[in-house]
Structure 1
Amino acid sequence: MKKLALLSDLHLDVNQFTDTEIQVFIDTLQEQSVTDLHFAGDMSNDYKKITAPFFNQLSKCFDISHNLGNHDMVHLSEKEINAQDFSLKYFGDTLLISFHGWYDYSFTQDYSKEKLLAFKNSFYFDRKIHRDYSDALTTQHTLNSLKSILENLDFSGRIIIAMHFVPHKAFSINTAYKKFERFNAYLGSQAFHELFIQFPQITDVVFGHAHHRISAQSIDGIMYHSRPLGYTYEWQMVSDFLQDYPEYQIEEHYHLRKRYQAIRSLDSWQNYREQNLSKEFLSSLSFFELPT
């Protein structure tokens, strides 16, 4: 029996994990009897200097696999990005297929493609990434490659998909603020789901990117899982701390960054983080027990 754990959006550098906290992460996984660990993108903003050494450290304890997210692609060429795309890992009668994914602006209809591209190139994080093709064409190439893999598989068992970007519009950002709605354009593509449903062997899809944890949700017979760790200011732990210590609540409690900035240097917060970090890690993991 193997136990596969998947997570996304660890953001090692932004979250500034200490060596002790990395050990908490390892201990948490070992307490769950995890044998195989898959990272579904956005490990850090520097794959070569930060993520690769991290993988090497964890490989002493687990069988590691991964796909890239947009943050991982900074400093990587198209050739280097493609070299890490599409991986197949067999667990008896279950196959894990992982790939990066991308986006094609299909999750929003309120802006022209020209305006979305201009905004991306001026303000959005992905302006730092240099892909060889347009976003729509990059997405189509990914879909074509995935379809070819699925059509040519000599395998009749269950398939689990791991990817970074969002594969269904149901998981786009629901916001009343018009200026934030445009970010849906860069989340993913509905075309991934439309491809998945053509292959009944696909039972589960694990993804991240949007930094919104959801309960596992079935759509058209496919179970979708998304439990990204995200940035510290987004953690459930922050809300729990402020509930336990309401005296530190700020007037703009809805402003996640500001409320975190107000507590981050407090000794009481540091102690709370230490005591509850394992729980936060655990809440960001998706598990599958797989016979071999």
Structure 2
Amino acid sequence: MHKLAIVTDLHADINRLTPADLTRLRDYLEEQQISRLHLAGDTANKVDRALEVVSLFNEVIPTTFHWGNHEMADITQEQDFEDFSNQQFLNFKTMALSEQKIFVGVNGWYDYQFSDMKDTNEIVRLKNLFWYDRMIQRQGTDPEISQRVCERLYQVLATIPKEKQIVLATHFVPQAEFIVQHTGKYARWNHLNAFLGSKAFGETLDNFENIEHVIFGHTHRRFGTHQLGETTYHCRPFGYYFEWQLTKEFVLNNQLAEVFNPTKMRGVLRRHQAAFDTYKQTHLLEEFQRSLTIIDY
């Protein structure tokens, strides 16, 4: 039996993960006899940094990757978004895991369909105000890009024999079941659902009954494992340090806040940086374990 591990949203730079930290995580994967690793986007903000992380893991475990939106902000050539020239880049490509299982990687994108806003101009204005992706320079509108992604994905999946089982990793949210609808004073956050994923992407997947597993991230909310029809969906993003479970435990156990609100934790952590760094080193591996999806093949 072999094991494929998938990790999304490692954010090695924002999380200030050192080579020693990453080596600890790699050593754990090796101890667990992981046969292959796939990094499913937002490994780092800079392409070079993401490639360094891929290289470190690949020294011990065969490692593939595709982009998330954060790496895309550092891409300047249009072809590098979907056809980056690197042997380990797995986007619109298939890899045979076994005689029965085929692994597919695809960046994905978003088409605004998960938002409660209907005015496309307003959605674009919102994106350009503060969303990270305003720095990404691509050809076409977001819905046009998403449509191209779905069409190309369909073509790839259609080449896989129906008797084969498909494991697919993507970055963005593929199904509405994983979109949180906020209420009350947080209802305005529903506007940002526009940038989380694509309804059409999920509909593309629904055409293929032999898709056994779909692994994704981007939402920074861990949904765990859910069965939708014939497909098992997995969402366990590593996420930002101020969102982690270990951070919540550090803050609440030390009574640094009455309520844990990730958006307000960065200042709290800066004021207690040394203590947090020590706690982080002790519990980082546990956080990594929570973010792992492992598929047997």
Q: CA deviation at 1:266?
A: 4.5
Runs of 5+ in structure 1 lacking a partner?
A: none
Deviates more, 1:6-15 or 1:21-30: 21-30
Long gaps (5+) in structure 2: 85-90
Distance 1:156 1:65 in 2: 25
Partner of 1:52: 51
For residue 240 of structure 1, what is the aligned residue in structure 2? 249
1:96 and 2:103 matched: yes
What amino acid is the match of 1:90? Answer: A
1:57 partner SS? helix
For the Cα contact (< 8 Å) 1:4–1:289, is it kept in 2? yes
Pick aligned residue for 2:146 from 139, 147, 153: 139
TM-score, scaled to structure 1: 0.93
Q: Are positions 1:6 and 2:6 aligned together?
A: yes
| Residue aligned with 2:14, SS | helix
Residue 87 of structure 2: aligned partner: none
1:11-90 mapped onto 2 (5 Å cutoff): 11-47=11-47, 49-76=48-75, 77-84=77-84, 85-90=91-96
* 253-262 or 81-90, larger mean C-alpha shift: 253-262
Give 1:193's aligned residue: 202
In structure 1, how many angstroms separate the alpha carbons of the residues matched to 2:120 and 2:263?
30
* Alignment counterpart, residue 215 of structure 1, candidates 221, 224, 229: 224
Is the contact between residue 12 and residue 43 of structure 2 (CA under 8 Å) also seen in structure 1? yes
CA contact 2:154–2:204 (8 Å) conserved in 1 = yes
Following superposition, the deviation at residue 154 of structure 1 comes to: 4.1
Partner of 1:121: 128
Kindly indicate whether the alpha-carbon contact (under 8 Å) linking 2:116 and 2:191 is maintained by their aligned counterparts in 1: no
Q: Deviations over 1:62-98 (max 9, x none)?
A: 1111111100111212211121431211111101111
1: CA distance, partners of 2:129 / 2:114: 20
Find the aligned partners of 2:265 and 2:83 in 1 and give their Cα distance: 40
Write the letter of the residue equivalent to 2:94: L
Give the CA deviation at 1:51. 1.0
Letter in 2 for 1:189: S
Q: How many residue pairs align between the two structures?
A: 286
Aligned-pair identity in percent equals 30
Structure 2 distance, partners of 1:87, 1:192, is 16
What CA RMSD, in Å, does the superposition of the two structures yield over aligned residues?
Answer: 1.6
**Does residue 1:288 correspond to 2:295, yes or no?**
yes
- Distance (Å, rounded) in 2 between the aligned partners of 1:268 and 1:107: 40
| 1:175 shift after superposition | 1.6
Q: Which residue of 2 aligns with 1:169?
A: 176
- SS of residue in 1 equivalent to 2:49: helix
**Structure 1 letter corresponding to 2:27:** D
In structure 1, what is the equivalent of residue 88 of structure 2?
A: none
Q: What's the TM-score once normalised by structure 2's chain length?
A: 0.91
Are the aligned partners of 2:5 and 2:38 in contact in 1 as well (CA < 8 Å)?
A: yes
Runs of 4+ more than 3 Å apart: 263-268
Report if aligned partners of 1:69, 1:164 keep a CA contact under 8 Å in 2.
yes
Equivalent residues of 1:24, 1:277 under 8 A apart: no
How has the CA–CA distance of structure 1 residues 267 and 130 changed in structure 2, closer, same or farther, with 3 Å as cutoff?
Answer: closer
Q: Give me the whole-angstrom Cα distance separating, in 1, the residues matched to 2:6 and 2:25.
A: 13
Contact 2:92 2:105 survives alignment (8 Å) = yes
1:81 partner SS? helix
Give 1:121's aligned amino acid. Answer: N
SS of residue in 2 equivalent to 1:224:
strand
Paired residues of 1:111 and 1:182 also in contact (CA < 8 A): no
